[in-house]
Amino acid sequence: MTRLTAPWLSAPGPQALCAALEAAGHQALFVGGCVRNTLLDAPVSDLDLATDALPQNVTDIAGNAGFRTIPTGIDHGTVTVLAGEEPIEVTTFRQDVATDGRHATVAFADDVAQDAARRDFTMNALYCDARGTLVDPLDGLPDLKAGRLRFIGSASARIAEDYLRILRFFRFTAWYGNPDHGIDAEGLAACADGADGLSHVSAERITAELLKLLAAPGPAPAVAAMAASGVLHHVLPGADAPTLTRFIHFAPSPDATARLAALGGSRDGLRLSRAEDRRVETLLTAAASLAPPAALAYHHGEADALAAIRLRAAQTETVPPENAASEARHGAAQTFPVAAADLMPQLSGPALGARLKELESRWIASGFTLGREELLAP
């Protein structure tokens, strides 16, 4: 018998909530990422609890136990319970009645096996009770331990229920798959066959999944599989997976936005934040310029300068300069020695701005060596 131990599991809030549900005669099983990641000794960010108690019963039981509840998705069976410092999403066991590739009509169930059968991957259908005892209705533990990402039942059927599962397949492969096993052939084929269905998924959901995928420690093999299957073209037309692979070789630290820039392609189908979109454009523009690392770092900071230099190398199939890091550090530390007040009142308005820009360009071209007096000399 497998038994989990973790700080989140033994915390007073989750324990008290489970005890209240069980005292009322209901099952209380943690499920999904918190169980999966605990088994992998990976960080846990969210707590999800599955139960046979109906949503209103959950609300009443939690309220009587002193917890505050929020009906976040009560029509679909989900109540958020504020148990101590951690919000816990409590969802009634469900089974799908009908789906359209985006939304599902569900019916509540009283059997954990029914609840497990409607989930996406075997490694996500793992449960445990308040004592940490593992409940594995679909034998997902061996897949998790082996790093095999498999759809539950028919891959095509699971995808037809929600086409976002195509991107989740590649995202979970990147995070939890064992490269030695390769990618699941049935799942990959089903993703390729169902790729047109991504047109029914909102840009916001696609963007969130793509950024999560690119934040994985080593997403290049999964992205290459996306490209080979045609899925990448649906998400980022014109994207270049080999450039991403080279970029990750030069810049292995996870940076989803910089990796998106390395992929290139059209971002018209995504919904990035303004800051994310601006940074992608900045990195692409900086990489396309001929500016050296120090100049880039002066304008954009050390981190983005290095990202741009490595992106340039990946795009041109070269290698970054050996001294790129030290030059970027030097450039980021520089302060332009001339101020607008130094040119006033002789200059003002656009003429003042143009003169400042000219002097700054000369100063940068000198390797930041020209001083204030030299720059202002007639």
- Residue 70 is classified by DSSP as E
Residue 53 belongs to a domain: yes
In this prediction, residues 113-136 reach a mean pLDDT of 96
Structure confidence at residue 370 as a pLDDT band (50, 70, 90): very high
- pLDDT tens sequence across 339-353: 999 999 899 999 999
Res 211 pLDDT > 60: yes
**Are 268 and 249 spatial neighbours (Cβ–Cβ below 8 Å)?**
no
Res 98 pLDDT > 60: no
**Are 104 and 98 spatial neighbours (Cβ–Cβ below 8 Å)?**
yes
Query: What pLDDT shows up at residue 378?
Result: 82
Residue 330 belongs to a domain: no
Res 99 pLDDT > 80: no
Query: What pLDDT shows up at residue 83?
Result: 86
CB-based burial label for 148 (10 Å; 0-12, 13-18, 19+): buried
Query: What pLDDT shows up at residue 86?
Result: 82
Last residue of a domain, one of 146, 179, 209: 146
Query: What pLDDT shows up at residue 102?
Result: 55
Last residue of a domain, one of 146, 164, 179: 146
> Side chain identity at 31, as an amino acid letter?
V
Res 104 pLDDT > 80: no
**Are 213 and 170 spatial neighbours (Cβ–Cβ below 8 Å)?**
yes
Residue 90 belongs to a domain: yes
Q: What CATH number did the domain enclosing 46 receive? A: 3.30.460.10
- pLDDT tens sequence across 138-196: 999 999 999 999 999 999 999 999 999 999 999 999 999 998 888 999 999 999 999 99
Domain interval for residue 361: 340-376
Residue bearing tokens 């003002």: 348
Residue 359 belongs to a domain: yes
In this prediction, residues 281-309 reach a mean pLDDT of 97
Residue 54 belongs to a domain: yes
Single pTM value for the model? 0.90
The residues pairing with 135 across neighbouring beta strands, listed in sequence order, are 127
Residue 241 belongs to a domain: no
Residue 190 belongs to a domain: no
Residue 66 belongs to a domain: yes
- Residue 272 is classified by DSSP as -
Mean pLDDT of the chain: 94
Last residue of a domain, one of 124, 146, 168: 146
Overall domain count for the chain: 2
